[in-house]
Amino acid sequence: MASSIASAQDKTVVIHGTATPGGGFPVYGAAYAETINETDTTLSVQPRNTKGSTENVPLLEAGKLDTGQVTGEVTYEAIAGVGRAPANLKIISAMYSNSGMFIVRADSPYKTIADLKGKPIAWGAGGSGFVVLARYAMDGLGLDINKDLQAVYLDKAADGPAMVLDGRVAALWGGGVGWPGFVAVAKGPAGARFIAPSADEVKRITAKHTFIKPLTLPAGSYPGQDAAVNTVGSWAFVLARPTLPDDVAYRMVRALHKGEAAIGKRLEQARESTMANTVAAAPRVDLIHAGAQRYLREIGLLR
């Protein structure tokens, strides 16, 4: 991994961290890189598979990534200094809203979160931000994901669907629109069903952990999903290393803004990757990279 911005064939190379193969982050990273590179030919954003959000943060801090994708929960912990020193990382752009829920086979007996207590659950890859979201969501319900449920952690996200389909686990945790793991289970021979917090459970979770918000997965996000799913989650972000030059951040944000329609065509959930959503989702304006702030002011989204 590059430790700094490099120039190759008159292009500014940006090493961009995603996650393990088979999850939503690598798919997004490919669409993100293709869109920016197509829109600004002086940039060469190059995605790299990593262990996910929890690894991307220290890699960014060490300058081993230039930019990286990080879920909202991991962003919160890093910036707030939960269990560690506060991270000096800045937001380049919002990715999409990340809702968390379980998927089970449609022929399974499980209907509620309470039904899953004591059952084997595939939470995701160990470094995934989805695992962090699960920990907070279940904690809001008084549950420990390692003690009250049988935790199964994956080497890579792509391993999870087969475990649901063949019955090795009762459910797979994940979320968002078009997440590959959920698509695979939904397309299985039995079909699929989602389990999410009830309205009362949503209130309990968001009351205890205020950075987690109520979110809705739209109907039709997955095969056979006829109704919207109300749950909890947060916004994922593209974060930058502390020393990413302002000019590079400016050009990346400008290219993404000009390519908003293009990235939305490449990936449905990337339709949320707008500059307006970046401003709305950022916890504070000062957490947005100075180069990105400059562009946002130019287009009138910041004063």
**Residues 239-272: tens digit of each pLDDT:** 999 999 999 999 999 999 999 999 999 999 999 9
In a shared domain, residues 208 and 294 = no
* pLDDT value of residue 130: 87
Q: What is the DSSP string of 70-121?
A: E-HHHHHHHHHTTTSPPP--EEEEEEEEEEEEEEEETTSS--STGGGTTSEE
pLDDT of residue 7: 53
Residue 1 maps to a domain: no
Number of domains into which the chain is organized: 2
Please indicate, yes or no, if residue 303 is contained in any of the structural domains.
no
Q: What is the pTM of this model?
A: 0.80
Which residues are paired to 68 by β-bridges? 17, 239
Distance CA 170, CA 168 (A): 7
Domain identity same for 60 and 154: no
Domain stop point among 181, 207, 234: 234
- What is the Cα–Cα distance from 221 to 62, expressed in whole angstroms? 37
Q: What range does the domain containing 200 cover?
A: 98-234
- 60 and 125 both lie in a single domain: no
Residues in the chain where the model's pLDDT stays below 50: 1-4
Residue 118, in any domain of the structure = yes
Same domain, 164 and 15: no
Check whether residue 127 and residue 186 sit in a common domain. Answer: yes
Query: Is-contact 26 157, C-beta < 8 A?
Result: no
Last residue of a domain, one of 213, 234, 255: 234
Residue 161 in tokens:
């669907």
Kindly state whether residues 91 and 239 are assigned to the same domain: yes
| CATH number for the domain that contains residue 43 | 3.40.190.10
What local confidence, expressed as pLDDT, does residue 3 receive? Answer: 44
Q: What pLDDT is recorded for position 1?
A: 47
90 and 119 both lie in a single domain:
no
Last residue of a domain, one of 234, 253, 272: 234
Clarify whether residues 143 and 257 are in a common domain: no
